[in-house]
């Protein structure tokens, strides 16, 4: 699903999905893990999860989309 707002993105994550912004490269996404929103980052051979907080721009954006790790969905 493409062109979601932040509310749509949150609802998708609450159902267990991952989301990303169109302006991010395809190596970043966010998800809910253990009750916290985290950002995943893919490296050449590994990936990691770090704490994430949205910016005002993230919360007002309409370019959120569902994301399958490694491939935009």
Task: State the number of CA atoms in the 13 A half-sphere of 68 facing the CB.
Answer: 3
pLDDT beyond 50 at 73? no
- The pLDDT score that the predictor gives to residue 69 is 67
pLDDT beyond 60 at 70? no
Q: Summarize pLDDT for 1-60 with one digit per residue, the tens.
A: 889 999 999 999 999 999 999 998 778 999 999 999 999 987 767 778 899 999 999 999
Which is nearest to 52 in space by CA: 20, 70, 30?
30
Mean pLDDT of 60-72: 81
d(CA 22, CA 33): 22
Which is nearest to 62 in space by CA: 10, 1, 21?
21
């Amino acid at each position: 699903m493409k062109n979601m707002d932040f509310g749509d993105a949150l609802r998708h994550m609450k159902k267990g999905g991952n989301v990303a912004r169109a302006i991010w490269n395809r190596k970043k996404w966010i998800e809910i893990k253990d009750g916290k929103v985290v950002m995943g980052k893919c490296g050449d051979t590994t990936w990691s999860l770090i704490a994430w907080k949205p910016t005002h721009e993230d919360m007002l954006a309409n370019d959120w989309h569902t994301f399958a790790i490694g491939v935009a969905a």
